[in-house]
Structure 1
Amino acid sequence: MLHETQNVDRVSNLSREEFLQKYGICGKPVIFLDLMDNWKAKTCWTPEFFKSKYGATHVTVRKTKTPDDERTMRLGEYIDYMESTKEENPYYLKYWGFSDDCPELLEDYNIPEYFNSWHQQLPDEIRPRWSWIYIGSTNTGSGMHIDPAMSSAWNAVISGRKRWVFYPPEDEPYLYDGKVDAFNPDLKKYPLFAEARSLTCIQNSGEIIFTPGGWWHQVVNEENCIAITGNFVNETNYKMVKNYLEVSEVPKLNQLKQAVKQYIPQFYSNSQ
């Protein structure tokens, strides 16, 4: 039998200091209800908008349940597919790194102050592009995972609705390296998953969710959905990110390790 789930907190009018104390430093997911009110993207970013303005842009889409099944198509073609598909395992446009090819879209939203990221201090040529647009139909989503380099993330739903489930870092031994499907778990194959403790929520249009670094999570779109997400590192999670970089043996991270020491002194001055 699975553990009883708890709901993710839903907040508004939260100061940055309150966020740090209640959610950021301790690492706890939360939904913000009032951070997108003045975003142009909230009213502008419709399927018709992306199809008319960026329909010729080539994007890579992947099957939700079999992510190795991917293809490249024009964005307009994908939107037509999204609006008509009835597939149980549809293609999903995720990780669209729009900022280089469509930088004007950056002007349509403002990153909330809670999520200001130290990685912006890195030189442009080595700075991770930690902003993505996600567009998908009902039943698209992301399997169980933690975010890159132990970074934290924010996700804003422009239209549609998402269902989330979260698991704290200490429950990692029960999660089988993310192989288990949290929405339809096979307890015969993954019996320890019954010991995992979850937080769950529905994220509606106009809401932003915070995912702390190191938390495992899984997401499914319950309606056709357009969202934007960004990852970040700051005082809430830098120790985890620093430790990850120090022990990582991934060759492509060697340059990033040295750049962090050179350009982001907070990683080391704050850890003394």
Structure 2
Amino acid sequence: MDRAAFACSTAFFRDYSSASHGAVCLPQGHVDYIEKVESFSYSDFFRDYLIPNHPCVFSAKFTEGWGSRRNWVTRDGKPNFDYLLQHFGKAVVPVANCDVKEYNSNPKEQIPLKEYISYWKEYIKKNYHSPRGCLYLKDWHLYRAFPEQDVYTTPIYFTSDWLNEYWDAIGLDDYRFVYMGPKGSWTPFHADVFRSYSWSANICGKKKWLLYPPRQEEYLRDRHGNLPFDVTAPGLQDSSIYPRYAQSCPPVEIIQEAGEIVFIPSGWHHQVYNLEDTISINHNWVNGCNVAIMWSFLQDELAAVQREISEWRDTMEDWHLQCQVIMKSCTGINYKEFYNFLKVIAENRISVLNHVLDEEASAKNTHRAATSALGMLHAVFDLKRTVQVLTSLNANEDFKKLNPKSLSPPPEALLHHLKAAIDTALL
């Protein structure tokens, strides 16, 4: 991060409340296309897309050195089934049925990759029809299962990744995925986990994206407040069911070619189609630019849980704790874990500022090494954003009911430590 980007971020996030939901972006006639690697810096991306929360598309030049683009694709641009079978055939993968709706999503099953590829070949042979329906391999944690494989290198623009940094640190999960699906497979209307950013790179094939900027999705709700499963369904034009649909703006449409990367901003709802047989790699990630959006989302999630079990508020022992348990089950994180998330990121940034990592330690901790590569100013920015969100969390009435003084360290002590580290760094 250069000084101009740091100054831009300081000015934009000076007022925490106005930046908590990201910029309100109206659909535009086009999405910026980033053509050349050598003329586009991290600071350019940070200033022009991360901070304002705008989508963009990176050309295939940004992925041309990836092992997956060399090995996973045949000369005619199709999935290289033989290579995939040889290297990953025994892996068990999650597969969704695009033809079945279940709780506003598609039901999934776990099957060996070799079985899925056998299905896919037969599906193509039968002109994209099968009694099993249209099956889509989704959310496969290939990076975690095969870390030794030469698949891809995360572009520098996406390396300030608090989400995967935290989950790697606790060793429980990650948000790096591979998707593989035939022509016609698709993902229903949704926004990404924790309202995170996502980037999606096509290894082969072609996708169509329909994107709605934050708050546009409110016009798409039905009279019961539910979001649609499919934003292209004719039923949305029935005003007796979708009373505000006529007020919605048309979606931003992106056609993504092989090798290209799409950046999906925080909180943008979207629906995605595979126009050809397609393989893609996707990360969800959070950083200092959108961590306040994540925090706002978590508050909304807790409020929804509290409404659902409000009738037991006065009779259920430890009602507030039960709300946190349910929130964790439904959302994947609760307030105490969010505190731990902020703490881990903050401690890593202080380590960078204190230069406590020697070269050997940096090599073993890729996230801290990546932060070091982005520069001291980026570490300071991350700490400042952590302080802003942690201050809001510490003042939250629901968080106060969880006995935060029992946390290690207590929030007040952590805040004091972070502010001192920022002051020292800026001397």
User: Same-fold call, TM > 0.5?
Assistant: yes
Q: Which residue of 1 aligns with 2:230?
A: 181
Deviates most, 39-48 or 163-172: 39-48
Q: Which residue of 1 aligns with 2:16?
A: none
Contact 1:82 1:224 in 2 (8 A): no
Judging by fraction of residues, say which structure has more helix.
Answer: 2
Q: Which residue of 1 aligns with 2:205?
A: 160
| Amino acid corresponding to residue 49 of structure 1 in structure 2 | Y
Contact 2:175 2:285 in 1 (8 A): yes
Q: Which residue of 1 aligns with 2:75?
A: none
Secondary structure at the aligned position of 2:174 is classed as coil
Per-residue deviation, 1:145: 0.3
1:144-201 CA deviation, whole Å, 9 max, x = no partner?
Answer: 0000011100000000000001001121211224314223442124353333221101
1:142 aligns with 2:192: no
1:102 aligns with 2:143: no
The 5-angstrom pairing of residues 1-272 of structure 1 reads: 6-13=29-36, 14-33=40-59, 34-45=61-72, 46-66=80-100, 67-85=105-123, 86-87=128-129, 89-105=133-149, 107-116=150-159, 117-122=161-166, 124-125=169-170, 128-176=173-221, 177-186=226-235, 187-188=237-238, 189-190=241-242, 192-197=244-249, 198-246=251-299, 248-249=301-302, 250-251=327-328, 252-254=332-334, 255-265=336-346, 266=383, 267-269=385-387
Percent identity over the alignment is 28
Distance, in Å, in 1 between the alignment partners of 2:192 and 2:155 is 19
Structure 2 residue runs without a partner (length 5+): 1-25, 73-79, 303-326, 347-382, 392-427
With normalisation by structure 1, the TM-score equals 0.89
| Amino acid corresponding to residue 246 of structure 2 in structure 1 | A
In 2 relative to 1, CA 248–183 (structure 1 residues): closer, same or farther, beyond 3 Å?
A: closer
RMSD: 2.4
Distance, in Å, in 1 between the alignment partners of 2:195 and 2:183 is 28
Matched residue count: 269
Per-residue deviation, 1:110: 1.0
Structure 1 residue runs without a partner (length 5+): none
Distance, in Å, in 1 between the alignment partners of 2:145 and 2:388 is 35
Judging by fraction of residues, say which structure has more strand.
Answer: 1
Contact 1:160 1:226 in 2 (8 A): yes
With normalisation by structure 2, the TM-score equals 0.58
| Amino acid corresponding to residue 192 of structure 1 in structure 2 | R
Distance, in Å, in 2 between the alignment partners of 1:121 and 1:180 is 32
**Structure showing greater relative contact order (alpha-carbon pairs closer than 8 Å, 6 or more residues apart):** 1
In 2 relative to 1, CA 244–126 (structure 1 residues): closer, same or farther, beyond 3 Å?
A: farther
Distance, in Å, in 2 between the alignment partners of 1:241 and 1:69 is 26
